[in-house]
Every structure is written in structure tokens, then in C-alpha cells.
Amino acid sequence: MTFEHEPPQLIKHRFSYSGRKFGFDVNHLRLPNGSEGEWECIRHPGGALCVPVTADGKLILLHQYRFAVEGRILEFPAGTVEHDENPATTIEREIEEETGYRAHKWRQLGQFFLAPGYSDEIIYAFLAEDLEKLPAPPAQDADEDLELVFMTPAELEQTILSGAPVDSKSISSFFLARPFLNS
């Protein structure tokens, strides 16, 4: 399905910020219907995420502290795609760094925008199988505070439905992976 619409007209680029992982723009736009306003947008290079599945059918999640929500949430391993990096390369690195496992079988699940109302970030989702536990525990990045959690797909689904704090990219990716998972 495609939609052909005239794009908004940029009247003025008012503000820009560039940080370590993302940027932020404020633009004055005129929509095709003639209305004008300011739109703020977080500019992000994109992320890659995997749903890792052990030989016994357990999913590996991270219980990770996130400053923005001032607490711990459940999420699958993920990372920011570096400049000129393939998302598959990103997630191969991240699963090892965050979990201490290496996947030998990969399936691309799809891609989706994380929060298109205010960000251009796209997530590339993968299923990671045939996992090998690495001999040495991973060295966490200085800004990471996480612990591994192993759940069956049924347990994760119940956790999500209970309203427990699980991030949206993990929920979306879990449901993309669900047809390939045993209960």
C-alpha cells in the first residue's frame, strides 16, 4: 500500500542539536492544507534488536536500568546502528556484549518505526537462534546496568499482558517472532 501526498514545505529550520547518539531538530513547516506550525524531531541513526532463543526454547531478555523512566524494564538485546554499519553487524556485536552469547542462525523479522510522531528512528528486528555461550562473561559498557532474564514465550506474553514494564521495541519484535517460537 502506498500513499502519495505532497510533503510539507520547510519554512525555517529553527534549532538543531547533535549529541552522542541522536540529534534534535525544530522546524517551522507549512502543510499541504496551508496550516503552519513547529515540528520537533529526534534524529536517530536506527537500532538493531534480536529475540534470542536458547536450545530449550527460552528467550533471553535484559532487565535494564533506564534513566529516562527512572527504573528497570525488560527488553531484548539491542543497540544503535553505527555510521555506515549494517544492522545485522550491529546486533551480532550487541548480543555478545549484552548477553555473553553468540548466535549462529539469524532470521530477519522486519523493521518498524519506533515513535514516528517525534522521531525518525527505525528498528531492525532479528531472531537469533543456535546460541553458543561464550567462555568469558561480557564486559558491559560503562553506561549499562543490566541482568539477564530467561523466560518462555508464554511467560513473556503473560508478563507483557500483565502490564509489567517492557519496552515497545521488545513487545513489537516478540510478536514478529511469535510464529517462529514454540510455546
pLDDT of residue 50: 98
Asked if 82 and 48 touch (Cβ cutoff 8 Å), the reply is no
pLDDT of residue 143: 73
pLDDT of residue 150: 98
Q: How far apart are CA 171 and CA 177, in angstroms?
A: 10
Q: Which of these CATH numbers, 3.40.50.920, 3.20.10.10, 3.90.79.10, 2.60.40.10, describes 47-111+120-180?
A: 3.90.79.10
Q: Which of 44, 48, 42 is nearest to 123 (CA)?
A: 48
Domain ranges for the chain, please list them. Answer: 9-43, 47-111+120-180
pLDDT of residue 96: 95
pLDDT mean values, one per 10 residues, the chain (183 residues): 80 90 92 93 96 97 93 96 95 95 98 94 98 85 84 97 96 97 81
pLDDT of residue 70: 93
